[in-house]
Amino acid sequence: MDRTKENSSLKTVGIVKVVVLAAVFLIYMFPFYMLLLNAFKYKRDIIKMPLSWGGKNGFTLNNFAEAFQKMNFMTVFLNSVIITGVSCLLIILFSSMCAYIFVRKDWKINKFLFLLMLFSMVVPFQVVMIPLISIYGGTFGILNHRATLIFMHVGFSMSMSVFMFHGFIRGGVPIALEEAAGIDGAGPLRIFFQIVFPLLKPTIATLVILHALALWNDYLLPSLILTDKALYTIPIATKLFQGAYSNDMDLLMAALVMAIIPAIILYLALQKYIIAGVVAGAVK
């Protein structure tokens, strides 16, 4: 009887968990469903019947063609690819090298610098936003450049990346491999790039996903740095469809759908590394 009751209670708990997870999933996915549904509808139907399939006028693909043209999609897409791609490349390269030095070199200053980087993770960007813009714009006059935005992205993303790499290198990269390579005559750079760096693949994939999604969708920092329309990224370009007195909701929905497609493709390509990388970097 006790076992029967125990099995029954376990089944009940399992059913409750499934129901709760299903409810959370539906709540989370509802905005994406609304976005995809209304991207193919006319503006009048979006306003009057946002939950209906097609509305009175049915579905249309003109939203995508018009949004593509008005926001100059290929230019803003290329800007987003350059800024996101170069930023992620530099973040991965510099943070992995920095974490490697922190782990393998037992210098007192390394512990201090590592703790300093960890403390910087809790400082909100909004706290330093205005001083940064004042310094880079008023003092140096280097705003409205892709390089400036990339530099800031790299700086703000280094701490978390170093933390992730630090944990993985300490627990997942055997020092015996490096010692064997050193005995065979390999120098420090060769040991890092040919022995250590390939072993960091799970953490690299995880950080690429996290940073690529964050930088690709970032609106606040690029809107402060980039004022020239020729340098706009996709999130900034979508504001062209939002005016003071009217909104082109149909074009905005279509633009957002086009914006998330590259992020979904990247996630699907690297998803198998995400859990392994997060666990290895944060726990080990």
Give pLDDT tens digits for 45-62: 887 877 777 667 778 888
Domain check: are 17 and 84 in the same one?
Answer: no
Mean pLDDT of the chain: 84
pLDDT at 21 over 60: yes
Helix (H) or strand (E) holding 72: none
Prediction pTM value: 0.83
The whole-number pLDDT of residue 91 equals: 95
Is the distance from CB of 241 to CB of 252 less than 8 angstroms?
yes
- Residue 200 or 126, more confident: 200
CA end-to-end distance (rounded Å), the chain: 43
The whole-number pLDDT of residue 281 equals: 47
The sign of the CA dihedral 134, 138, 140, 146 is positive
The whole-number pLDDT of residue 7 equals: 65
- Residue 214 or 248, more confident: 214
SS3 140: coil
d(CA 190, CA 178): 10
Domain check: are 11 and 134 in the same one?
Answer: no
Domain check: are 156 and 277 in the same one?
Answer: yes
Using alpha carbons only, what angle is made at residue 156 by residues 151 and 162, rounded to the nearest 5 degrees? 110
d(CA 73, CA 65): 10
Give 280's contacts (C-beta < 8 A, 6+ positions apart): 167, 168, 171, 172, 202, 203
The answer to whether residue 56 is domain-embedded is no
The answer to whether residue 51 is domain-embedded is no
The domain in which residue 8 lies consists of 2-38
The whole-number pLDDT of residue 88 equals: 95
Domain check: are 240 and 145 in the same one?
Answer: yes
Domain check: are 139 and 259 in the same one?
Answer: yes
The answer to whether residue 52 is domain-embedded is no
> Cα dist. 134→204, 221, 282 in Å?
34, 13, 35
- Beta pairing partners, 41: 59
Tokens of 12: 């009940």
**Segment among 74-78, 113-117, 121-125, 209-213 with least mean pLDDT:** 121-125
Could you tell me how far CA 125 lies from the centroid of its own chain?
A: 16
Domain check: are 71 and 212 in the same one?
Answer: yes
Which CATH number do you get for residue 127?
A: 1.10.3720.10
pLDDT at 204 over 70: yes
Domain check: are 144 and 208 in the same one?
Answer: yes
Domain check: are 215 and 275 in the same one?
Answer: yes
